[in-house]
Structure 1
């Protein structure tokens, strides 16, 4: 395991998994939200995001969590491990609301500097986005999971128990490969 692609909808636990997996493996962790946003919740231009994600993809070792699905083909081609957090939309919405309340006014470590958590109209719009894209975003990830390239080990985690078991397996195996496992 040298290049790990962690995906899932907002609130699925991608940042938490990336951080914990990084601690266990020593792999550098990259968060798509740090690429997507500039200070003040200003979205970067698509070509700049594409360039920045490419700079991560070409590295030899990484854990890269997050979306920007237009770069999935390149990320899948470079990754050796694909972890999909396939969590129910209701739980994801609850988690997004909870983190907005708990972290209100502060910037989480997986976000760009100057992007404090907020509870406002933008939060409501984000929740609508989560609801609106729940099927289309999931379909893209399901396609990779169901027909991965030969070089890619795939994992689909749907519960906290599977999440914890995946981390335990990684910790037990250390820096060894997890080949042969298709789901946890």
Structure 2
């Protein structure tokens, strides 16, 4: 594992998994949210976001967590491993709620600078609809990948068993 893409619903634990794998495998971690969101929740332009992501993809090794359709194709093409956290909607809603409480008035380490945690109705709705609207296209895209190690986890227990099988760097 040298180039790992982690995708899944918000609140599934993509960033936490990236941190765990980064330590275990001694690979650099890149959070797409930290690239996309500038101070005060100002998004990078699509073009600039793509350029910044391309800089990461040029590196020899990486773990990249996040969905962001504008760069999904490039990341999947270059990854040797894809991990899809396909957790239930309830699990993801729980995750974003728990995260909101834990980081109240603070910026998460995997987020852009000066972007304190928030939970608004629009984001809640996005998480609520993710499995229905985004997941089918993810499965379709993953089915076309060749020479890529693909792991799909439906719950944290499955994921933990997998992590335990990985050798340390």
Could you say which TM-score interval applies, normalised by the shorter chain? over 0.9
Match for residue 129 of structure 1?
A: 126
Q: Is the 8 A contact 1:12 1:85 kept in 2?
A: yes
Deviation of the 1:136 alpha carbon: 2.4
Match of 1:178 in 2: none
Unaligned runs of 5+ in 2: none
Using structure 1 for the length normalisation, give the TM-score. 0.87
TM-score (norm 2): 0.95
Structure 1: 4+ residue segments shifted above 6 A: none
1:120-162 per-position Cα deviation (integer Å, ceiling 9, x unaligned): xxx221101222343221122212333322x210000111111
Deviation at 1:70, TM superposition (A): 2.1
Structure 1 unmatched ranges of 5 or more: 176-184
Q: Distance in 1 between matches of 2:63 and 2:35?
A: 14
Residues 84, 156 of structure 1: 8 Å contact kept = yes
Distance 1:141 1:12 in 2: 15
Deviations 1:18-45 (A, max 9, x none): 0000010000000010111001111111
RMSD between aligned residues: 1.3
The residue correspondences of 1:8-157 to structure 2 (distance < 5 A) are 8-119=8-119, 123-149=120-146, 151-157=147-153
Structure-2 change in CA distance of 1:160 and 1:132 (3 Å): closer
